[in-house]
Structure 1
């Protein structure tokens, strides 16, 4: 068994010199096979197998180097006190992300408001209202975070959590207005050149990260943390909707482009609105149930203390 492990280790981890040699030999073999039309010759299939093996050991080597680079980078980051605290202190990282998100939301809302006034666009004005509501929610969460540590004052945190759910309902009205405007007035985003691909990568990254964080941060038992991640998910959903309007405008179909655009935007917009509505209702109902439990437990504790004092 140990001998088999050593053989596999040598086969899969041959060292950098052999990896480079295999890559060069694979390139020569494949060029010979395809350039001289030798796909059916006796050397073709061994070349394919050897190229597959080369791909495997090259990927293993790259993954190992990437892991080493990640460890070195993490060690360097940990030497900087602020960055080290961001990596290790969840509460501090949540504070920082809330401050950054609040600043970005205010700036983005102001830009959309100015664009709406300059271009007489109700579309930009509605988006401005949406991002202002996001900023208000994040400001409310920051005020709560400044009063006590995350997870310490659950009653206050659940009240903020429920308030954010109520504000999400208002945001859903603004979001529904955005979808209706996109469909009726045929308005939307437009990006210059290849910028749309950059925005697509950013939108997919934010939606995946936000969805993962909503689930991950539930284990910290802090309603404020959970609310912050739900807000990020709501913002990411709007980014995806905005990306779709831009992509539909840039890559239009030749047949019935307006009809296709309206159907796709209406379907995606309705889905986003339903998701935001579901999150808002869950936050309101869940916070209300938890507050009733906490109020009941506090009342029971007070009665127990009064009974003991009377005795």
Structure 2
């Protein structure tokens, strides 16, 4: 009965407290990101794969951004509101620099995906499973990126976490696109998808840079308002 009560209490908080929901889901994502970073780093070193090495750097930066945001919010539980806002602004400035580096780190792996130079060692069934996962990921990220405007409570770091989740989902779309192309291509027509891959990859990367810049602009504006 006690366990059932705890589960019911957790579900109620999960439904009603958007900030708590964001932090908990980001904690789970942090664990998954750490696994992706280690996995790609291993493949990069073991097989000498530049693509896996660079995408491993992307996941490492993603893990650090989520980690410092979650650590700040955990420590803020024991701080006064004014101190909480000050610590959030400081963490936002640091993580913004890391997010800029993250965008730059994507240039090389995206360039390699554009020319279909990404190593693939999976069949069609795992690729379809990856498609289902990516669809779920981008759907949830899109829903929350819209809800954050109404339910973030002015918490600048919650908004940043949702933006980072959306960028993560967009990168998953890029990886899925090129994985499906390479799984299904044959030698005679290996370059026929190059124009489509180049255009779609450029568009998605443009969206990533665009939402990063928008987050910077809104975040710094909010931080300046809190200081005055």
TM-score normalised over the length of structure 1: 0.64
CA 1:77–1:129 in structure 2 vs 1: closer, same or farther (change >3 Å)?
A: farther
Question: Paired residue for 1:267, among 199, 210, 217?
Answer: 199
Task: Please show how residues 244-259 of structure 1 align to structure 2 within 5 Å.
Answer: 244-252=177-185, 256-258=189-191
Gaps of 5+ in 1: 1-75, 297-311
Question: Paired residue for 1:210, among 118, 141, 160?
Answer: 141
CA 1:263–1:163 in structure 2 vs 1: closer, same or farther (change >3 Å)?
A: farther
Question: Paired residue for 2:98, among 167, 170, 174?
Answer: 167
Give the corresponding residue for 1:103. 31
The separation in 1 between residues aligned to 2:105 and 2:82, in whole angstroms, is: 31
Question: Paired residue for 1:243, among 176, 181, 187?
Answer: 176
Stretch moving more, 79-88 or 222-231: 79-88
Question: Paired residue for 1:187, among 110, 118, 122?
Answer: 118
The separation in 2 between residues aligned to 1:175 and 1:79, in whole angstroms, is: 40
The separation in 2 between residues aligned to 1:153 and 1:120, in whole angstroms, is: 44
How many residue pairs end up in the alignment? Answer: 220
Structure 1 residue 201: deviation in Å?
A: 1.2
Please say if 1:94 is aligned against 2:46: no
The separation in 2 between residues aligned to 1:101 and 1:126, in whole angstroms, is: 20
Gaps of 5+ in 2: none
Stretch moving more, 163-172 or 118-127: 163-172
The separation in 2 between residues aligned to 1:232 and 1:187, in whole angstroms, is: 23
The separation in 1 between residues aligned to 2:129 and 2:138, in whole angstroms, is: 14
Structure 1 residue 157: deviation in Å?
A: 2.4
Structure 1 residue 154: deviation in Å?
A: 3.4
Question: Paired residue for 1:153, among 79, 84, 90?
Answer: 84
Give the corresponding residue for 1:227. 160
1:153 is paired with a residue of what secondary structure? helix
Give the corresponding residue for 1:136. 64
Q: Is the 8 A contact 1:168 1:277 kept in 2?
A: no
Q: Which has the higher contact order (CA 8 A, sep 6+)?
A: 2
Structure 1 residue 249: deviation in Å?
A: 1.1
The separation in 2 between residues aligned to 1:222 and 1:151, in whole angstroms, is: 13
Structure 1 residue 275: deviation in Å?
A: 1.4
Please say if 1:289 is aligned against 2:221: yes
- What is the CA deviation profile of residues 205-231 of structure 1, one whole-angstrom value per residue up to 9, with x for unaligned ones? 111110110110122321111111111
List, as ranges, runs of 4+ consecutive aligned residues in structure 1 with deviation greater than 4 Å: 76-79, 149-152
The separation in 1 between residues aligned to 2:107 and 2:157, in whole angstroms, is: 26
- What is the CA deviation profile of residues 59-114 of structure 1, one whole-angstrom value per residue up to 9, with x for unaligned ones? xxxxxxxxxxxxxxxxx898543334323333332232122111111111000000
TM-score normalised over the length of structure 2: 0.85
CA 1:213–1:93 in structure 2 vs 1: closer, same or farther (change >3 Å)?
A: same
Task: Please show how residues 31-70 of structure 1 align to structure 2 within 5 Å.
Answer: none
Please say if 1:201 is aligned against 2:132: yes
2:218 is paired with a residue of what secondary structure? helix
The separation in 1 between residues aligned to 2:184 and 2:28, in whole angstroms, is: 33
